[in-house]
């Protein structure tokens, strides 16, 4: 009886302990777990989708910058014309003059229009008030704030806006894109433009082998 009882007792111990042992040894993999290959495939698909989406995102961002630049240019032209209406003359000029990287620094013009130059704008009228740039070291979309670019008005790509004013008062200024437009002058008192993302003027190759010509369509102008 003792041996039989011991056997029963041992079996009870085994039965009592066996569920945890069985659970560890014989548990089946979950039906929802990923294999390494499946995980790699998912990562690859995500990478491909991101690669396809990035150029689209860049295009949308650049389009938004072009719209912003167009609005800025129209505000510049409006401000210069408002100055003319107020004072009976254009600011600073006695001959056709270009402000920007292609001419005089544009900070001189915008100091007048922002009432920072009281000699030229004695009534201290604020004709426009662009925001300061967010990053002084890499100025974009606003007025420069550090010593190297203080007062300059930058486009969304980080290049100073260009402004050309009819200081001769003959209601025409040279067209900065005459090579493309086929017109040497524009009938306007003031024009403004941005060279866009590439910071270079659009030009059209005269021949298919002209490697020095660059054709791009990212310039933004006030008169079209």
Q: Has residue 3 got a pLDDT over 70?
A: no
- Residue 77 parent element (H or E): helix 36-87
Domain limits, the chain: 66-204+211-221
190 CB-side CA count, 13 A: 23
Q: What is the pLDDT of residues 139-180, one digit of tens each?
A: 999 999 999 999 999 999 999 999 999 999 999 999 988 766
pLDDT of residue 152: 97
Instruction: Quote the tokens at residue 30.
Output: 């979950």
Place of tokens 């550090």: 146
Q: Taking the model in full, what pTM does it have?
A: 0.71
Confidence of residue 33 (pLDDT cuts 50, 70, 90): low
Contact 157, 74 (CB under 8 A): no
pLDDT of residue 209: 39
């Amino acid at each position: 009886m003792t041996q039989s009882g011991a056997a029963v007792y041992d079996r009870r111990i085994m039965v009592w302990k066996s569920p945890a042992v069985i659970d560890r040894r014989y548990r089946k993999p979950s039906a929802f777990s990923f294999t390494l290959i499946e995980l790699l495939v998912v990562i690859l698909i995500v990478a491909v989708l991101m690669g396809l989406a990035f150029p689209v995102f860049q295009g949308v961002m650049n389009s938004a910058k072009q719209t912003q630049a167009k609005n800025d240019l129209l505000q510049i032209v409006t401000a210069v014309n408002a100055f003319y209406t107020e004072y009976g003359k254009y600011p600073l000029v006695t001959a056709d003059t270009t402000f920007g990287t292609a001419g005089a620094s544009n900070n001189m013009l915008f100091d007048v229009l922002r009432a920072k130059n009281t000699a030229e704008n004695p009534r201290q009228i604020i004709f426009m008030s662009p925001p300061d740039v967010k990053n002084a070291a890499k100025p974009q979309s606003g007025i420069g704030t550090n010593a190297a670019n203080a007062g300059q008005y930058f486009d969304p790509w980080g290049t100073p806006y260009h402004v050309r004013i009819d200081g001769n008062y003959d209601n025409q200024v040279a067209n900065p894109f005459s090579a493309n437009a086929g017109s040497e002058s524009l009938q306007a008192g003031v024009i403004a433009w941005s060279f866009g993302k590439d910071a270079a003027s659009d030009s059209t190759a005269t021949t298919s082998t002209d490697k020095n010509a660059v054709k791009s369509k990212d310039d933004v102008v006030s008169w079209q």
